[in-house]
A and B are shown apart, each in its own frame.
Chain A
């Protein structure tokens, strides 16, 4: 595929990418930052994309890895922060969760509470509609690991939403 078609297909993917970003980050500003960074990375690496492979899976992988980097960086920052100011509230998500609890829908709250690895599995399969194999490829994990994370995430969501209902 020519690079022109690459760009066309990437443009067509943007709405879905944004949805996935929101699913990963659970925050619209974070999601849009993540989207922008992902587009930049994908464009920079566009010569490396191999024709005949799924462009969506390729870009999703970039986005997911970018987000993992971001989560790690935030964890480091918040750890430093907690270390320096013992007793202060820690964790960006924790703050927001506490503040916004009343406004958040049940689903959003339940998703936010999921561990990162379960959330990405749930979102890829149940929202983005990837098969188990493709989702496992995007995450770089064996399919068995994917289904186990998916099962646990689902269970937690069902429990939470069941309670909330």
Chain B
């Protein structure tokens, strides 16, 4: 049986399958020439290892170990920094969450009171409305280019309290003081809601939202209008909305400080 040099080499290197290895072993056993070649292969390997193995026995320079140890230390510190910064990020997040919670809590009075007025399905038009489009026609008048409440709306804004407004044609959803100290009231009347603020002459309509009637593509969900209007109120308000006592006091004082 012919055994090639390549096969013999692969056998010596342990690269053959058990079946092939057995075949080479059988051939070697019956062929002294082949046995000599294999022996030479093995001696070569032994000679190479005899030459190079002692290098692996030499003590490794401390400097190399120190390099690796320094890298390991670096990684450890980086890992710790990561843990620390993670903890810091977590604390920061917790702080922000707490802050958000406080802000939400501050805004909640608006949203809760607004909840009493969810009947308003509105298409939103922020800003001052064309008087003709308002269902409050007759309750709005023009004052030097500014829309102000008149008639029943003005009277309602003057007199009605938020808590007592359920059955009225005018609903006062909430009252608050804006930053300049003026009193403002979020109201709904018929299909229209808005924010009116009291100046020394009357109730200026700061925001109006036309509700109930669809205006083509302008139709919006009530929730969306709610949040828009409440966001506007929140934006304008100085602190929380008035509670019942404060509202009563403000009314008694003619909505002036």
Q: Which residues on the A side are within 8 Å of B182 (C-beta)?
A: none
Q: Which residues on the B side are within 8 Å of A46 (C-beta)?
A: 71
Q: Which residues on the B side are within 8 Å of A123 (C-beta)?
A: 48, 52
How far apart are A163's CB and chain B's nearest CB, in angstroms? 13
Contact A127 B48 (CB under 8 A): yes
**Interface residue B92 (Cβ < 8 Å from any Cβ of A):** no
**Interface residue A87 (Cβ < 8 Å from any Cβ of B):** no
Other than the given A14-B65, A131-B15, 12 more pairs (CB < 8 A) read A2-B75, A4-B72, A7-B68, A18-B56, A31-B55, A32-B61, A39-B67, A39-B68, A107-B47, A126-B13, A151-B9, A157-B44
A interface: dominant SS: helix
Residue ID in chain A nearest B70 by CB atoms: A43
Asked if A11 meets B52 with Cβ closer than 8 Å, knowing A18-B60, A147-B10, the reply is no
Q: Which of B13, B40, B79 contacts A132 (CB 8 A)?
A: B13
| Residues of A in contact, count (CB < 8 Å) | 44
List 28 A–B pairs whose Cβ atoms lie within 8 Å, in order of A's numbering: A3-B79, A4-B76, A7-B71, A7-B75, A11-B68, A11-B69, A15-B55, A15-B60, A19-B52, A22-B55, A28-B55, A36-B63, A40-B67, A43-B67, A107-B48, A107-B50, A122-B48, A123-B48, A126-B13, A126-B44, A127-B52, A150-B13, A151-B6, A154-B9, A154-B41, A158-B41, A161-B47, A162-B40
Cα–Cα, bound, A157→B9 (Å): 13
**Interface residue B96 (Cβ < 8 Å from any Cβ of A):** no
Q: How many A-B residue pairs have CB under 8 A?
A: 101
Q: Which residues on the B side are within 8 Å of A43 (C-beta)?
A: 67-68, 71
Contact A16 B56 (CB under 8 A): yes
Interface residues of A (CB under 8 A from B): 2-4, 7-8, 10-11, 14-16, 18-19, 22-23, 28, 31-32, 35-36, 39-40, 43, 46, 105-108, 111, 122-123, 125-127, 131-132, 147, 150-151, 154-155, 157-158, 161-162
